[in-house]
Structure 1
Amino acid sequence: MVLGLGYAIHWRDRRRKQAERETTIASLPEKYRTPLTSSEIDLLLTPSSQLVQHVHDGSVHTSQILSAFTKRALQAHERTNCLTEILVKRAEQKSIPQLERKLARERQKEDDGRRRKKRLPLAGVPVSMKDTVCVDGYDSCIGYSKWIGRTSWRDSPLVKLLDDAGAIPFVKTNVPITLLSFESTNPVFGRTKNPHNPRYSPGGSTGGEAALLAFGGSRCGIGTDVAGSVRIPAHYSGIYTIRCSSGRFLKAGNVTSMPGQEGVLAVYSPMCKTLGDLSFFFKGIYEMCPWKYDHTVLPIPWRRVNSRWELVNTSGQNEEGHAGKERRRARWGVMWDDGVVPPSPACRRALEEVVSALRSRGDEIITIAGPETAQPYECLRIASQLLNSDGGKTFLSQFTSLLEWNDTGVVQLVRYFRLPWIFKRIHAWFVHYIRRDPLRAGLLRDWNEKSVPEQWKLVAERENAREAWFNYWNKEDLDFILTVPHALPAIPEDGSRDTVSACGYTFMWNLLDYAAGVMPITKVDKELDGLPADFRRKNLNGIARSAYKLYDPVGMHGLPVGVQVIGRRLEEEKVLAGMERIEEALGRVWDDGLLD
């Protein structure tokens, strides 16, 4: 009876929230539902830096930008189901009037001959945000029906900074229930689809954001990442992002499915349509001194990268005359395989294309495997245990009913948590010695809720891994590490069931807290990316065998494929420079224009 009542409440609330979203969209002024004009299409294709310049010089009014991007965002939503909260009314009544007042004061100073440094570095830039971001007067239910109606009573520090910088937050975007999936599906808002192919995922957990950006419905967005949640969507959808180190980007005052989880820290990070936008947006955030808004942000001003690939103050001090010189050749460590799931032909081809271009430019390329005591598989084992050390109790406590839908991959994790420990030990032994699959057995063996001493032991293992990688990086004298973001291109609907453990290429950098960027390189080609004739799935370990069930170069034809650029902790500026190096080496800039 109680179970049924809970599900009835869940069903009622989710329908109410869906109706609220559709009513909000339908009630928007008619101007947002008319076809895009040629001038609005031009605005959609204009880089953020130019949008800001147009707003400052008065050649474009911010309301024109909001109109163009709202129209396109609604088109993206119709195509992909990517939106959750529509903030257009707030933009009209708060963000734009506040910006216009500041611009008027700025222009008055100019007329009076008192021109000062611009304090609106993101003036007019449309910004979309993951549903986790709290905005005064709006929900952040992140797919939980239990959280519907828990309206935020204040703007988070991130939103306050965006307003003060002149940006225009205008929509929030969809996520997976629990935030622990590489898909973006939940029972409240439904399934978000990849704009390149609706049968595939745009990624998760920041998938709604990636779908919107890839479709051109926003230029700059904000997501979170605890195991690859901005990088996988960037890879699947064909956009740019950088997973920031903890303390480098604002995160306070927002919601999460696992408050208090600190074994592997979740971080907020920017996502953009182009690399130029990503760099501009990041710098704009830092012009506002984010540590003055959010106590979690370290007071590290934006730095630039000199000719020796060193981070230096923007003032140029201590550069010893190296400013403006061509940078020396970079030293790249390439991790071709994480030892768990080998990259699919499409993803391997993207990585090979980048390596070839960098080598042609004169950069030094070496193959790396990582320190012996902290191999990628070992990092995956530690990270997965730390992230779920509560046995899933925290994210499960947010469900209204046990009958409520859950992500297919997370369902597997929860089911295994609930098995008796003796059964798990026997099953892990069977997988290890009878199935001859020690990698999978190693992940299964200790899949249980941790005691405090067990948690502390894992944290100690994490710190040992960080020390090992610190020493390894120094020993190899690396500037960057290059690898794939995921073994596969975008996965099909409910593919999380088969790929829930295949996240090592991103998850290990969360454990180490390294800065890591993802950028699009190519697209799946059914003629080039077939499996070799001698490929045998049965020869793979269980994790890889399960993932490779989904690889279909014919069905995936045309989906984006990216690479991942890793820098050391708090080296976000350097990672950006590495991504720029790749675009220069390739001699082209990824540009999908506006998807049809």
Structure 2
Amino acid sequence: MRPAPRSPPALLCCCSAGLLLLLLLRWRRWKGFWKKVEAARQRQEEGLDRMEKAVRSFREQHPSVNMVSILSLSLPELSRKLRDGSLPPEHVFYAYLGKALQITRETNCITEYMQESETQLQQARPPGKPGLLYGVPVSIKDSINCQGHDSTLGFVKNINQPMAEDSVLVQVLKRQGAIPFVKTNVPQSLISFDCKNLIFGQTFNPLLYTRTPGGSSGGEGALIGGGGSILGFGTDVGGSLRFPAAFCGICALKPTGNRLSKKGIISGIRGQKSVVAAVGPMAKDVESLALCMRALLCEDMFSLDSTVPPLPFNEEVYSSTQPLRIGYYETDFFTMPSPAMRRAVRETKKLLEDAGHTLVPFAPPKIDYVVDELFTRGIFSDGAAHLVDCFKGDIVDPNLKSQFNTYRLPALVKRILAIILKPIYPRIARDLSALCGVGSAKNLWDQHAAVAVYRTEFIAKWRKQRLDVILCPALGPAFNHGYAGKLFAATSYTNLYNVLNFPAGVVPVSTVTRADEEELKHYRGHYGDPWDKRLKEAVEGAVGLPVAVQCVALPWQEELCLRLMKEVETLSRGTRRNV
């Protein structure tokens, strides 16, 4: 006999029970999610409390130590005093620990205090000649592995996943006598030039709290820009070192991709090879970056990671005083520079010419093609599938919502939207098309070949104009909060040099003036599309904030890049505008 059919009330009861069970499971899942967040924030706060107690204890025992004078020293001066014994490492460590605590209370830039740094400090008695960074406290970006500490990338699922060993970079720093003492905040996934996630929250610009410090190395930018660290390390796959440096008024160097080891450093998009990521230093001045590169380009770096070419720092190139032949451009004709950006390049060009260098107009070829087909289609060759997968089990940070929602659209929907938008907003349409990815292994190889062809074409143009280096804009001033996630296209000035894999650095040269702000009122951009409108809104109200320029050299010529940066810094130091 056939079983009697269930009555509607019975079916309703079963459905209700199933729905209730589903809601209960979901509630338990999110309860566990926020419990992990709460625990991470509690650990962060406990670390800051330990910092406060340690600093207070030191000051009580050493009331005569002049912390202000220590914090005023440049890294080369500090290093010299530490190595010759005229300044005890304890004095330096606790001076920076106290300042770092102050800056993070103001900007929320530190995610973890590495308490073992106090033990390392006590053991910092070198048996022989001390390393170049002996006794120097250094800060480390969240995504750079440190033994016993999380590398969260802003994802809740990565909480309580301590790393088994230090990255090669951190190992070399320690062998050079440096003391890693804090880890710093990042945006969720790192694929953003803001600095906010659901675990640790928003990091603020130390120069103006209504502004972002940039990203993804934003915690580093805020801490160093506020004076709470003298040397820090971040990563860069589209500008993630250079944005925070430009926004926070400090210097940064993105080296050639493999000049410094990336072993033990976690990428936001693992495995992609079209756009080259790099790890590099951030500091208040160029000489500090040079000292750092001298220290890191050593036998320890080359032996711990055999994929790093054994190229020691070339002092002769960095110290040369021969006039340079410098290519320059004020706009890439993809992202219209803000008035302050354009003025910064123009004024720096004049200073360099007056100093005896030759300045040559240079136009980077096919920037729209680079941004869409080489950078965007390259970094999202899989149609952003890997990045979307990274968010599974996590809540998307509100700052990334518009970005993320675009990534996860089906390829067919992206293509249809691109066709619809092409007559009205061609730049946005091209970007949507590029986000579809390459579609096959053959197409990926074609894409890699296209990058190589473009690099050859770019270098040929460089050689034809007999250039040594290039001077160009750096994005700025610092954006108002909430705009970075809506303006991925604004990375064009920096992502070009990740596609090319050229070393590039930024140097602050000026500040936004009232005249810049007045000129901004007439800003229309190159395309007159929503992205241009947002860029104008993003940089409004920035009088007094720093503006930087970008300096670029050919692959493996970090020393030449630093040499131009040093020249720019020296020449512009006496001409910084007061508002």
Tell me the TM-score normalized by structure 1. Answer: 0.87
CA, structure 1 residues 517+37, in 2 after alignment: closer, same or farther (shift >3 Å)?
Answer: farther
Q: How far does the alpha carbon of each residue in 1:402-452 deviate from its partner, in whole angstroms, 9 at most, with x for none?
A: 6x13253x433432343344443332223222x1x3332222223224332
Q: How far does the alpha carbon of each residue in 1:487-528 deviate from its partner, in whole angstroms, 9 at most, with x for none?
A: x31111111233122110000100000000101111112344
Q: Which amino acid aligns with 1:468?
A: E
Trace 1:175-214 onto structure 2 (pairs within 5 A).
175-214=186-225
Partner residue in 2 for 1:347: 341
Distance apart, 1:232 and its partner CA: 0.6
Partner residue in 2 for 1:60: 87
Q: Secondary structure at the match of 1:120?
A: coil
Q: Which amino acid aligns with 1:471?
A: A
Partner residue in 2 for 1:258: 269
- Whether the 8 Å contact between 1:175 and 1:206 is mirrored in structure 2 is yes
Q: Secondary structure at the match of 2:390?
A: coil
Distance apart, 1:542 and its partner CA: 4.2
CA, structure 1 residues 215+201, in 2 after alignment: closer, same or farther (shift >3 Å)?
Answer: same
- Whether the 8 Å contact between 2:238 and 2:495 is mirrored in structure 1 is yes
Trace 1:322-401 onto structure 2 (pairs within 5 A).
326-327=321-322, 329-371=323-365, 375-381=366-372, 382-399=374-391, 401=393
Trace 1:525-564 onto structure 2 (pairs within 5 A).
525-531=513-519, 535-536=523-524, 540-552=528-540, 555-564=541-550
Of the three residues 490, 510, 516, the one matched with 1:502 is 490
Of the three residues 413, 417, 420, the one matched with 1:427 is 417
Partner residue in 2 for 1:456: 445
- Whether the 8 Å contact between 1:498 and 1:547 is mirrored in structure 2 is no
Compare 204-213 and 533-542 and name the one that shifted more. Answer: 533-542
Work out whether 1:96 is the aligned partner of 2:121.
Answer: yes
Q: Which amino acid aligns with 2:95?
A: A
Q: How far does the alpha carbon of each residue in 1:43-74 deviate from its partner, in whole angstroms, 9 at most, with x for none?
A: 11112222222222322211111100000000
Trace 1:39-54 onto structure 2 (pairs within 5 A).
39-54=66-81
Distance apart, 1:238 and its partner CA: 0.5
Of the three residues 40, 64, 83, the one matched with 2:110 is 83
Partner residue in 1 for 2:304: 293
Distance apart, 1:119 and its partner CA: 4.6
Distance apart, 1:591 and its partner CA: 13
Alignment partners' CA distance in 2, 1:491 and 1:405: 21
Q: Could you tell me which runs of 5 or more consecutive residues in structure 1 were left unpaired when the two chains were aligned.
A: 107-117, 312-323
Q: How far does the alpha carbon of each residue in 1:188-219 deviate from its partner, in whole angstroms, 9 at most, with x for none?
A: 01100000000100010000001000111111
Q: Which amino acid aligns with 2:269?
A: M
Distance apart, 1:387 and its partner CA: 0.9
**Matched positions, count:** 549
Trace 1:240-255 onto structure 2 (pairs within 5 A).
240-255=251-266
Partner residue in 1 for 2:5: none
Trace 1:130-141 onto structure 2 (pairs within 5 A).
130-141=141-152
Q: How far does the alpha carbon of each residue in 1:533-591 deviate from its partner, in whole angstroms, 9 at most, with x for none?
A: 65446962443233223231xx2122111000010111100001011121333353989
Question: Percent same amino acid at aligned positions?
Answer: 30
Alignment partners' CA distance in 1, 2:80 and 2:526: 57
CA, structure 1 residues 529+351, in 2 after alignment: closer, same or farther (shift >3 Å)?
Answer: farther
Pair member with larger Rg = 2
Q: Secondary structure at the match of 2:124?
A: helix
- Whether the 8 Å contact between 1:340 and 1:544 is mirrored in structure 2 is no
Q: Which amino acid aligns with 1:414?
A: F
Trace 1:91-170 onto structure 2 (pairs within 5 A).
91-93=117-119, 95-100=120-125, 102=126, 105-106=127-128, 118-170=129-181
Larger relative contact order (Cα-Cα within 8 Å, sequence gap ≥ 6): 1
Q: Could you tell me which runs of 5 or more consecutive residues in structure 2 were left unpaired when the two chains were aligned.
A: 1-21
Partner residue in 1 for 2:15: none
Partner residue in 1 for 2:239: 228
Partner residue in 1 for 2:477: 489
Alignment partners' CA distance in 1, 2:44 and 2:355: 50
- Whether the 8 Å contact between 2:44 and 2:111 is mirrored in structure 1 is yes
Alignment partners' CA distance in 2, 1:69 and 1:268: 23
Q: Which amino acid aligns with 1:478?
A: L
Q: Secondary structure at the match of 2:517?
A: coil
Alignment partners' CA distance in 2, 1:538 and 1:340: 7
Q: How far does the alpha carbon of each residue in 1:208-236 deviate from its partner, in whole angstroms, 9 at most, with x for none?
A: 00100011111111000000000011100
- Whether the 8 Å contact between 2:194 and 2:485 is mirrored in structure 1 is no
Of the three residues 510, 514, 520, the one matched with 1:522 is 510
CA, structure 1 residues 442+400, in 2 after alignment: closer, same or farther (shift >3 Å)?
Answer: closer
Partner residue in 2 for 1:23: 46
Partner residue in 2 for 1:569: 555
Tell me the TM-score normalized by structure 2. Answer: 0.89
CA, structure 1 residues 29+236, in 2 after alignment: closer, same or farther (shift >3 Å)?
Answer: closer
Partner residue in 1 for 2:12: none
